[in-house]
Structure formats: structure tokens, C-alpha cells
Amino acid sequence: MVEPTGLSPEGAEAGMGDVNTCSLEIERKYDVIPAVICSMCCLFGIIYCFFGYRCFKAVMFLSGLMFGSVIIFLLCHKEHVLDTQLSVEASAGIGLGIGCSCGLVTMLVRSVGLFMTGLLLGLLLALAALLVTHQFYTPTTLWVPLGALLGLGMLFAVFTLQWQKLFTVLSTAVFGAAIMTVCADYFVEMLALVMHVYECLRLTPGPPLCWYSWVILGIWPVLSIMGVLVQWKLTDNGFSHTEVVINRRQKRVQLMRIREKDAKKRQQPGGQEELPAKSAGQTVEHRHLP
């Protein structure tokens, strides 16, 4: 017997599932380790967003640490290493070790850290643009999102090297706000927004975002603007990372000059011998005075 709607019961159930996706209750099952990691990332996001430029060295280290750890973890977890599939713990350990090395490089070499900071800003802005564009138009090739990510990333990396303070403040505020948004997405809807962004990058069609996903996504620009204003007015007011570097160089130059003067005095034994002789002669003369 044919259904009146022309759909099978399975198709009708699938259609109802698509329609009522937002009305379904989300099953929240939190594990201890991901919840702790997410809480720590939220703390890092607060530091990034509101104290990013003030904690310049720490931010440079954390940028390299997170960027290197995430990339290496995804490569080790998704790809076969030495013809074996690594566990999540092993992939996380390898990613953390290499991420620490990347963090040290970005902290000690200032140009590398600034380049990484601008690259993160460009990637985040490209993700936001692709997510908004995906609601109206879906590209037919993966080169479009890949080109947008690489193009904006390299562009803002060069901008950050040219205008260091301005784009460092922007990057830390936007990146810190993005971290806090991801943490809120985890605790509210178990990373549904992150998975939607991932599907957009893969050009895979999926269900539309629910209204609460858009609310969570709206946290990102609000916190970004707040972070820029707080850093501009309060935390980085009168602070410059270049002055810190100059002061350290001046201290080193002063120490080198002091050491050179000490070395010259030591190379002049006659001058050192005359001083005690004169002082002894003066004491003798004072003794013969009535």
C-alpha cells in the first residue's frame, strides 16, 4: 500500500529527524581528561584575550606549543606511523613533546613568534569567512578553502611582522576568544559547532546550525572586541615588548663596558702601585707634623 505522502516510513522518520534536530536533547557525557583539558584551555583563553600583549613571551610560547601540538597530534592520530596506528595517549605525548620544542623556538626567536601569531589570526578570520559563506554557497573544490586559509594566514603574518603591537593585540584577543568559544561549545553541545566547521572545510553537506549554536558562535566576536578594548585601555597601556628588549641590551652593554674598564685597570700595574705609595707617603707626612 502506497503512503499518502509518497515517502516510506524510514524516509519519513529521517525527514522528521532532520527537521527536529534542534529540538532533540543533547546527550552530554563528559570524560575527566577532556573536561580538564578544556578547562585549562579556557584559562589560557582568558590570558590570551585580556593579557595577551602584556604576557608577550608566555603568549609566544603558548602559540608555538598549541600550534605544534595540534598539528602533530592530528598527523599521528590520523596517519599510520611506521605501519602502526598510534593510540590517543601516544599521539598526545608525541604532539606535546614536539609542541614544547616549537614553543621554545617561537619564544626565543621573536620574528618566528610574531609570524606564528599573525598566521593564527589569518587562519581564524579565514575560518569565520568560510563558515558564513557556507550558509549561502558551497565551493566545488577543496582548493577554495585551502587557498583562503593559506592566503589570509600569510597576509596577516606579514602584517604582524610590520605592525607588531597592533596585530599582536588583535591576534591574541581573537585567538583567546576563539578558545573560550570552543570550550563553551564543548560544555553546551559537545563540540557540535566545531564539527560543523570541520564539515564546512571538507565541503561535506550537513544539517544546518541550530539557534543555540549561533548564540555560542556569537560569543566569539563579542569577546574579541572586549579583549581588544581591555588590552588597549588597561593591560598593555604604556607597555612595549621592544622596550623590554632594548633595556636588556642596554644592561648587557653597560656590563660589557664595566668589564672592559676593569680589564684595563688590571693591565696597568704601575697605576695600581702608585696609589698605595702616595697614600703611604701622605700618612708618613702626617705623622711628622707637630
Q: Which three cell numbers stand for residue 133?
A: 559563506
Q: Which three cell numbers stand for residue 96?
A: 606535546
Residue 231 · residue 50 · CB < 8 Å: yes
Coil, strand, or helix at residue 81? strand
Q: What is the pLDDT along the chain (290 residues), one digit of tens a residue?
A: 444 444 444 444 344 444 445 766 666 777 787 788 888 888 888 988 898 888 888 888 888 888 888 888 777 766 655 566 677 777 778 888 888 888 899 888 888 888 988 998 999 999 998 888 888 887 788 888 889 899 999 999 999 998 888 889 899 999 999 999 999 988 888 888 888 888 888 887 777 778 888 888 899 999 999 999 988 888 666 666 666 555 555 666 677 777 777 777 777 765 444 444 444 444 444 444 44
Angle value at C-alpha 48, between 134 and 189, nearest 5 degrees: 45
Residue type, 250: Q
Cβ neighbors of 235 (< 8 A, separation 6 or more) are 50, 51, 53, 54
Q: What are the angstrom distances between the C-alpha of 45 and each of 120, 183, 232, 267?
A: 14, 9, 17, 57
* Helices and strands per DSSP (H, E), number in the chain: 11, 0
